[in-house]
Amino acid sequence: MEHKPVRAIFPGSFDPITNGHLDVIQRGVKLFDQLIVAVGQNPTKNELFSLDERVEMITELVKDMPRVIVESYECLTVKFAAEKKVDVMLRGLRNLTDVQYEFQLAMTNRSVAGIETIFVMTSEEYGFVNSTMVREVALLGGDVSKLIPPFVYEKIKKRLSKKQ
C-alpha cells in the first residue's frame, strides 16, 4: 500500500514561544511528514508580540527543520485545519490540568470536524512552563531566560527596554 504523507497542525498562541512549545515541535516533526505550526490570536488582551512578530520568530527558530512550516490564522482552528487538508492535530501535555482541558477540546474537535488529536508529553524540565506566566514574569522584570529560546529572550529584552 502506498504511504500517504501525514500532515499535522500544531495550533497555539505562542505569545511567546517557549522551550516547552519547541520541545513539542521537535517531537512532532519525527512523527509526521509535515508539521504546520499554526499561530492564532492571543485570547487575552495583554499581547506581548503581534501575530506577525510571533510568526517571524518561530520561522527563525525552525529554519533548520525542513518539514515544519509556520503560518498565522484567524478563524476557528478546525476550519484552518480543513483548509490546509491536515489529518491530525498535535497538542502538548504538561500535567493533569492540561489533560482535562485538552480531552474536552479534542473530543469537541473530533465531534464538530472529525479531526483526530495526537498528544505528546513535554520533557519534565518544561512541564511547568506556560506562555502566560512567561509574559507576566517578563513584564515585571523577572528573568525568564531559562524558559524560552535565547533568541526570543533577546527580543523580549529589546521590547521591554523600548517600553520604559
Distance CA 68, CA 34 (A): 6
> Which one of the listed residues 54, 94, 135, 155 is annotated catalytic?
94
Q: Which of the stretches 8-16, 53-61, 109-117, 152-160 binds ligand ADP when contact is defined by CB under 6 A?
A: 8-16
| Residue 100 interacts with ligand ADP (CB under 6 A): yes or no | no
Task: Tell me the three state secondary structure of residue 5.
Answer: coil
Distance CA 107, CA 115 (A): 9
Q: Which of 20, 32, 58, 88 binds ligand ADP (CB under 6 A)?
A: 20
- 21 an active-site residue? yes
Amino acid letter, residue 65? M
Closest approach of ligand ADP to the CB of residue 94, in Å: 5
- 45 an active-site residue? yes
Distance CA 136, CA 141 (A): 9
Distance CA 136, CA 119 (A): 27
Interface positions with ligand ADP (CB under 6 A): 12-14, 18, 20-21, 24, 91-92, 94, 98, 122, 126, 129-132
